[in-house]
Amino acid sequence: MPRQDMIGKVWLDKVDKKEVFYSSTRDSGNRATASQAILKGLAEDGGLYVPDHIPALEKSVRELADSSYQEVAYEVMRLFLTDFTEDELRSCIQKAYDEKFDTREIVPIREAEGAYYLELFHGATIAFKDMALSILPHLMITSARKNHVENEIVILTATSGDTGKAALAGFADVEGTKIIVFYPKNGVSPIQEKQMVTQKGGNTFVVGIHGNFDDAQSGVKAIFGDQELAAQMAEAGLQFSSANSINIGRLVPQVVYYVYACAQLLKRGVIREGEKINVVVPTGNFGNILAAFYAKNMGAPIGRLICASNENKVLYDFFETGRYDRNREFKLTSSPSMDILVSSNLERLIYRIAGDDAAKNAELMAALSAGGSYEITAQMKAQLADFYGNYADENETAARIREMYEHTGYVLDTHTAVASAVYQKYVKDTQDQAVTVIASTASPFKFTRYVMNAIDGSYDAMSDLELVDELSKIGKVAVPRAIEEIRTAPVLHDNVCDKTQMKAIVKRFLGIGA
């Protein structure tokens, strides 16, 4: 066969296999394989990696109805991570979704007041971040191996509470990795702090800093950008990476549970074949709802995507007006994981509705960075018809927790309550009666005080851990292992430093440049 044809044939084989490549939302010339994108996290130009096309599901929802969560995970993830072998991917899935979850279903679905709550909080840290952070470490070391990276991977993270613990739990004792987490010493809840400072694992380091979350975040960014340190790291066989929610290795595992939910509802006879469900997602950084959008584009029977915000309602305003504007007062609410003014993952949607136009997207992101706002064109806005945005204020959120408890005995966490309240507004606005899945992103035990105060204001005298027992009693649910453990767990990390000492402490942990 002439050489030319051989090359043509090889190329055609690749097309048949529907290989997915990733490119930066700000520079379409910046391309990577899935494993390279996972290793890098953010593209060098500041953009986010996006798949060059959304692969179509190869099995119907009917065919997936009897599949386990792990099996659905394989069916979905293999279509995105096309440079992983079957063995590699199955092994990552097996190590992630195991007994760390307190139920074999991994994500149980609970019906309440006619909606279906997809409980994404049964992992190690009882919040939905576990869905992605329990598999990311395995995807990352597999990616390193595939790309002949021999350095040890050092994960560096600043946290306002939830992500730090979920990342620590995911990376603890994963060979070939170390993880360093900085948190604001006086800026996280007592339970969140206890969860972090009791973290086991010889490769984990936790440090409280005198400063707020922004100080921790800026310090981490400065360390990432420090060329001298990078050279010293390389010499010692180390390199930094990020477990940030913009990593494609966090987004892809989140697509899985939306496909799984459709399959389970079909299996239970809640929906018929071809019938679409709506999805409501309590949103902060826009990662979780973007995953639902990807699931829909793969062919999962999903109708509308309902984006729920708290009082930091930048996204609601954006869906209403087509203008994204972060110039406003930042509000601290009872749903802290949604207290966000710049939703990083929205950039992936902007790029999509700009017609995969990196130059147009880069222009809008430059406007956001310079003046804090941008406006999309009418043509772009027309492509957002599947999205519906609304928000719930603090009173509405508390009322929703109380009413749900009074009507059904089911206890919602604050984030899920925002979504539940927005769902009620949606039905009132649209009269849409479609079957609806509400992403339930945290266990109420993670935000015990808020939840208990919403149900009954008479708990002020109780400590956080006493409240945990009270919640267990009134909600008739066992105290999750994640909370039970920290009652007696010894404190293993007592490092505290000034924000100016972060680099020095990183070097000390890593034993470099002494």
Ligand X SMILES: *Cc1c(COP(=O)(O)O)cnc(C)c1O
> By CB under 6 A, is residue 285 in contact with ligand X?
yes
Supply the minimum distance, in Å, between the C-beta of residue 247 and ligand X. Answer: 12
What is the C-alpha separation between 287 and 6, in angstroms, rounded? 41
By beta-carbon proximity to ligand X, the closer residue of 35 and 441 is 441
Residue 112 CB, shortest distance to ligand X, in Å, is 18
- Taking the chain, what is the end-to-end CA distance rounded to the nearest angstrom? 61
* Cβ at position 61, least distance to ligand X in Å: 24
Binder among 177, 278, 283, 334 for ligand X (CB under 6 A): 283
Best CA proximity match to 394, nearest among 298, 313, 459, 294: 313
Q: Specify whether the CB–CB gap between 303 and 277 falls below 8 A.
A: yes
Q: Secondary structure of 309-322 in the HEC alphabet?
A: ECCCCHHHHHHHHC
Continuous H helices in 299-357: 314-321, 346-353
Query: Could you tell me if 251 and 291 are in contact, meaning their C-beta atoms sit under 8 angstroms apart?
Result: yes
Which CB, 195 or 285, lies closer to ligand X?
Answer: 285
- For ligand X, the closer of residues 149 and 307 by Cβ is 307
Beta-carbon contacts of residue 472 (< 8 Å; ≥ 6 apart) = 445, 478, 479
Query: C-beta of 344: minimal distance to ligand X in Å?
Result: 8
In terms of CB distance, is 33 or 334 closer to ligand X? 334
Residue 61 near residue 262, CB atoms below 8 Å: yes
Q: Does 162 bind ligand X (CB under 6 A)?
A: yes
204-210 and 177-184: which strand pairing? parallel
- 232 contact partners, CB below 8 Å, separation of at least 6: 507, 512, 513
Q: How far is the CB of 290 from ligand X (least distance, A)?
A: 8
Token pair recorded at residue 19: 């290989």
Alpha-carbon span 447 to 440, nearest angstrom: 13
Stretch that binds ligand X, among 32-40, 122-130, 177-185, 362-370 (CB under 6 A): 122-130
Of residues 39 through 98, those in contact with ligand X by CB under 6 A are none
Contacts (CB under 6 A) with ligand X, residues 335-354: 337-338
Where are any strands of DSSP class E within 84-143?
A: 109-112, 115-119
Instruction: Round to whole Å and give the CA distance between 238 and 75.
Output: 33
- Check binding of 161 to ligand X (CB under 6 A): no
Task: Give least dist CB 161 to ligand X, A.
Answer: 9
Which of these segments, 79-87, 147-155, 284-292, 324-332, binds ligand X (CB under 6 A)? 284-292
Q: Minimal distance in Å, beta carbon 173 to ligand X? A: 23
Please report whether residue 288 would count as binding ligand X according to CB under 6 A.
yes
Give me the least distance between CB of 442 and ligand X, in Å please: 4
Choices 107-115, 277-285, 459-467, 484-492; region in contact with ligand X by CB under 6 A? 277-285
The correct pick among 34, 118, 127, 209 for binding ligand X (CB under 6 A) is 127
Window 196-235: contact mask with ligand X (x via CB under 6 A): ----------------------------------------
Closest to ligand X by CB, 84 vs 117, is 117
CA atoms within 13 A on the CB side of 409: 6
Which one of 181, 262, 349, 442 is in contact with ligand X (CB under 6 A)?
Answer: 442
CB 174 within 8 A of CB 137: yes
Choice from 187, 211, 253, 282 touching ligand X (CB under 6 A): 282
Contact criterion met (CB below 8 Å) for 479 and 468: yes
Backbone angles phi, psi at 205, to 5 degrees: -135, 130
Positions in the binding site for ligand X (CB under 6 A) = 127-129, 162, 245, 282-288, 337-338, 415, 441-442
